Amino acid sequence: MSTRSPLPPPERLLLGPGPSMVSQRVLRAMSIPLVGHLDPAFLQIMDDTKRLLQMAFQTRNEMTIPMSGTGSAGMETCFVNLLEPGDEAIVCINGVFGTRMADIVERCGAKLCKVEAPWGRIIESADLKAALNRGTKPKLVAVVHAETSTGVLQPLEEIGALARAAGALFVVDAVTSLGGHPVRVDDWGIDACYSGTQKCLSCPPGLSPVTFSPRAVDVLRQRKTKVQSWYLDLTMIEKYWGNDRVYHHTAPITMNYALNEALRIIEEEGLETRWTRHQKNHQALKAGLAAIGIGLASQENHQLWSLNSVQIPGDVDDAKVRSILLNELNIEIGGGLGVLKGKTWRIGLMGESSSPASVLLVLSALERVLPRCGYKVEGGAAVAAAERVYG
């Protein structure tokens, strides 16, 4: 029964799988006094956020909304709104988040068909094709664009084309890619896409941007049963975010301030510039790690810029390294998830966290810590290699 406040916690450099660093501008937006959820001033913020989300998703979809929950609520939103009991759904699984999608599909009472790949590798479109040829009639095909658990970036165009050819909706998890990698919802024919705020958007966790294509909206409108989740029911939520302004639930006002400000920062930087920045910092980190004999655990040529899945070298103790980084240097990196636990670290370079300073600091920190954990490192080699990438 402590009575001493646990706030504020220590200041960390956040280089894990999210949350990423949040800029002072966004933190300041979080401390703006609140207005009501039906205040004309708030409705204006909602409209502006919708426009900015359309920019981020590269879409004209009218139904583009931040759901009032974290990324997983966005995932659930897509499935509960699009699936009805008895529907068939193909889910591509090559990590934790594909596995989670499959779990949710089954909770919707839908018939699940899995297309799998080893963790750390992409889903091969041939495998999806084979599944489609086995006579399944899927209502949707779902895939993770950026597998946060493995650091793999999934190519989407072929998968999307196959889904469309099969008459299925194409559902994409862009939690760890939106704002850090190109996510071209309209060009790639994505019908439902969701993300989280705490990754490449560099906003605190708490909202989940979701976008539905007109095709997906048609499916939603033609449902025979009610959406099983009241809280995530887009048939009602669209009446609040649309012109009717019908109260559904009280929107998380402050989180919406933060998202608006975070998206404005992205608009000011420019999406293309932002993607290039993420790419460059990833390349520098990768080169630095390679210089001290450490590789990535994800498939070559399909590696995320935003989340680097790093092979833990030799017999190095995963937890010990992360604990020294956190407690002595205030740097957070992530551990592996699921089957990769103890085998990989996950170094996130997302949004504000994607910077040369982050890369140089985490590399020099590893150069300092790894020798204490039994892994010899040629001092300065990693940092020097990264510097060469920056030129």
Q: Which of residues 200-219 bind its own copies (CB under 8 A)?
A: 204-206
Cβ at position 47, least distance to its own copies in Å: 8
Q: According to CB under 8 A, which residues from 287 to 346 bind its own copies?
A: 326, 332, 334, 337
* Site string (103-142) toward its own copies, x via CB under 8 A: xx-xxx----------------------------------
Q: Does 29 bind its own copies (CB under 8 A)?
A: yes
Of the candidates 355, 243, 373, 272, the residue with the CA atom closest to the CA atom of residue 318: 373
Q: Which stretch binds its own copies (CB under 8 A): 39-47, 86-94, 283-291, 356-364?
A: 39-47
Site stretch for its own copies (CB under 8 A), options 96-104, 121-129, 304-312, 362-370: 96-104
The C-alpha atoms of residue 348 and residue 271 are separated, in whole angstroms, by 19
DSSP code at position 299: P
Query: Which residues in the 337-366 window bind its own copies by CB under 8 A?
Result: 337
Stretch that binds its own copies, among 30-38, 116-124, 277-285, 287-295 (CB under 8 A): 30-38
DSSP, res 339: G
In the shown chain, the binding pattern of residues 168 to 207 toward its own copies, with x for contact by CB under 8 A and - for none, equals ----------------------------x-x-----xxx-
**CA-based nearest residue to 90, from 147, 131, 123:** 131
Closer of 76 and 173 to its own copies (Cβ): 76
CA-atom Rg of the chain in angstroms: 21
Q: Which of 64, 99, 260, 298 binds its own copies (CB under 8 A)?
A: 260
Q: How far is the CB of 335 from its own copies (least distance, A)?
A: 9
Least Å distance, CB 92 to its own copies, is 18
**Toward its own copies, which CB reaches closer, 255 or 294?**
255
Taking CB under 8 A as the criterion, the residue among 58, 136, 228, 279 binding its own copies is 228
Distances (CA, A) of 371 to 46, 266, 289, 325, 359: 51, 39, 14, 13, 19
Question: What are the start-end ranges of the E strands in 111-191?
Answer: 111-116, 140-144, 146-147, 152-153, 169-173
The single residue among 155, 189, 252, 293 that binds its own copies, judged by CB under 8 A, is: 252
Residue 125, phi then psi, degrees to nearest 5? -65, -25
User: DSSP characters for 308-328?
Assistant: EEEEPPTT--HHHHHHHHHHH
Nearer to its own copies, 128 or 238 (CB): 238
Q: Which stretch binds its own copies (CB under 8 A): 126-134, 157-165, 224-232, 376-384?
A: 224-232
- Cβ density class 69-102: b for 16+ within 10 Å, e for less: bbbbbbbbbbbbbbbbeebbbbbbbbbbbbbbbb
Return the range that interacts with its own copies (CB under 8 A); candidates 38-46, 117-125, 306-314, 378-386.
38-46
Given 161, 253, 290, 316, the residue binding its own copies (CB under 8 A)? 253
Distance CA 308, CA 113 (A): 29
Site string for its own copies, 138-167 (x = CB under 8 A): ------------------------------
For its own copies, which is the closer residue by CB, 77 or 125? 77
Distance between CA 203 and CA 215 in Å, rounded?
30
Q: State the minimum distance, in angstroms, from the CB of residue 81 to its own copies.
A: 13
Does residue 10 touch its own copies according to CB under 8 A? yes
Selection from 124, 128, 131, 129 nearest residue 152 by Cα: 124
Residue 6 is a binding residue for its own copies (CB under 8 A): yes
Instruction: By CB under 8 A, tell whether 62 contacts its own copies.
Output: no
Side-chain half-sphere exposure of 14, counting CA atoms within 13 A: 20
Work out the angle between the directed axes of helices 71-82 and 234-241 (0-180°, nearest 10).
Answer: 120
Q: Does 27 bind its own copies (CB under 8 A)?
A: yes
As a whole number of angstroms, the distance between CA 45 and CA 255 comes to 12
**8 prior amide bond cis, ω within 30:** yes
Which of residues 201, 227, 287, 365 is near its own copies by CB under 8 A? 227
- 255 is an interface residue for its own copies by CB under 8 A: yes
